[in-house]
Amino acid sequence: MIASLVAVTLLAAAPGPLEVVRSGYEDVQATARAPGATVDQLSAAVDKFVDFEELARRALGETWETITPAQRKAFTRAMRGMLRAFYAERTLGLGEAEVQYGQELLEEGEARVSTVVVVQGTRVPIDYRLYKSTRKAGGWRIYDIVTNQVSLLEDYRTQFRQLVATQGFNGLLSTLKKKQAQVERAAAARQAREDARAGKKQ
C-alpha cells in the first residue's frame, strides 16, 4: 500500500513532455548565455533531455536487431558524439532566441510538443517527439526533432538504410565516425575562436 502511494506520488511529480522541452531549452539557453560557455557544457545540458541512444536505435531500424551489443555501443557513441557537437555548435551560433510553446499531444506512451523558435525575426516551427523511458528513473525523453516538417529521425533512417544496403553496417559505422570527427573538429575550432575573442576582451 505504501509502495503504491509512493509510486503514484512520483508519477504525479514527474514533469510532463511540455515541461521537459521547456526546462531543457531554458537550461541550454542559460548555459549558452553564461560567460565562456563551451561546447562540452552545452552538450552536457542537451544530454539531460535528449536520448541519443533511442534516436540511434530507431534510426537504424531493423538493422539494430542484427548487430552485436558492441556494435550497438559503437554506433550509439558515434551518433551521440556527432549530434551533441552539432547541436551545441548551432546553439552557440544562434544567440538569443524566443520560443513560443504550443500543444502537447499524448498517445500511447509517446508525445509531441509543438514550438516556434523566433531568431532575428525568422519563425522556425520545431516539434519535439518524446517517449516515456523505462530506463533508470524513467521520465519523458526526446528522440526526434522535426524542423519545418523535416524529421531528424526519418532523415537519418533513410540515409542509414541506403548506406547499409551499399556498404553494410561496418561501412555505415565508418562513415558515421568520419562525420563525427568532422563535426567535432568544427565545434573545437569554433570554441578556439570564442576563447581567443574572450581573451582579447580581458
Sign (positive or negative) of CA dihedral 171, 175, 178, 184? negative
C-alpha cell belonging to residue 194:
570564442
Torsion of CA 99, 94, 91, 85, to 10 degrees: 150
C-alpha cell belonging to residue 122:
525568422
Q: What is the pLDDT of residue 95?
A: 58
Q: Under a CB-based contact definition with an 8 Å cutoff, are residues 160 and 60 in contact?
A: yes
How much is the pTM? 0.81
**In Å, what is the CA distance from 86 to each residue of 67, 138, 190?**
26, 26, 11
Mention the CATH class of domain 2-201: alpha beta
Residues 123, 117: Cα–Cα separation, whole Å: 6
**Segment holding 107, helix H or strand E:** strand 98-107
Give domain limits for the chain: 2-201
Residues 23, 26: Cα–Cα separation, whole Å: 5
Q: What is the pLDDT of residue 201?
A: 59
Q: What is the pLDDT of residue 36?
A: 76
Q: What is the pLDDT of residue 158?
A: 95
Three-point CA angle 177, 180, 182, nearest 5°: 110
Q: Tell me how far apart the terminal alpha carbons of the chain are, to the nearest angstrom.
A: 61
In 3D space, the residue among 34, 2, 29, 25 whose CA is nearest the CA of residue 142 turns out to be 25
Q: What is the pLDDT of residue 41?
A: 83
The tens-digit pLDDT sequence of the chain (202 residues) is 323 323 333 333 468 999 999 998 888 888 878 877 777 788 888 888 889 889 999 999 999 999 999 999 999 999 888 887 777 666 665 556 788 999 999 988 899 999 998 888 889 899 999 999 876 566 899 999 999 899 999 999 999 999 999 999 999 999 999 988 888 787 777 767 766 766 665 5
* 201 phi/psi in degrees, rounded to 5: -75, -25
Q: What is the pLDDT of residue 7?
A: 30
Q: Under a CB-based contact definition with an 8 Å cutoff, are residues 133 and 51 in contact?
A: yes
Write the burial class of residue 127 (CB in 10 Å: 0-12 exposed, 13-18 middle, 19+ buried): buried
Q: What is the pLDDT of residue 49?
A: 85
Q: What is the pLDDT of residue 90?
A: 66
